[in-house]
Amino acid sequence: MVLVPTNSQVNRAGQTIRKFIVEAEPWSEDRLRSAYEVLVVFRAAHQYPLIKANMGLRSVLRTEECQVEVTQRLKRIPTIVDKLRREPTMQLAKMQDIGGCRAIVESVAQIRSV
């Protein structure tokens, strides 16, 4: 079983990855690998809450008898790394959009009923 890293560990991993990408400094392979592993575990930790949010959304939509398409996604690792590069002050642990789900309904009335 892999433990979820602390926010401090996640933020340090994000800083390490950002410095490697932006500054192209030579880093020890072990340090970069460790940072990447923390990123992978951090991202994976969003999977279960995302599934629960998706199921809750589907339940509400079923209750309202809406014809709907529900999708979910986890942000891909290259996209997370790119966002770290583009936003130099962002702490990885505070990145708001690692996962998300979306419901596509037929009308504004359905949105309001939900």
The CATH number assigned to the domain holding 109 equals: 3.30.460
pLDDT of 50: 95
- The boundaries of the domain holding residue 109 are 7-113
Looking at the structure of the chain, the number of domains it has is 1
How sure is the predictor about 25, in pLDDT bands with cuts at 50, 70 and 90?
low
C-beta of residue 34 within 8 angstroms of C-beta of residue 98: no
Say if residue 26's pLDDT is above 90. Answer: no
Residue 28 lies in a domain: yes
Strands 99-105, 68-74: pairing is antiparallel
Distance CA 37, CA 35 (A): 5
User: How confident is the model over 32-80, as pLDDT tens digits?
Assistant: 899 999 999 999 999 999 999 999 999 988 888 887 889 999 999 999 9
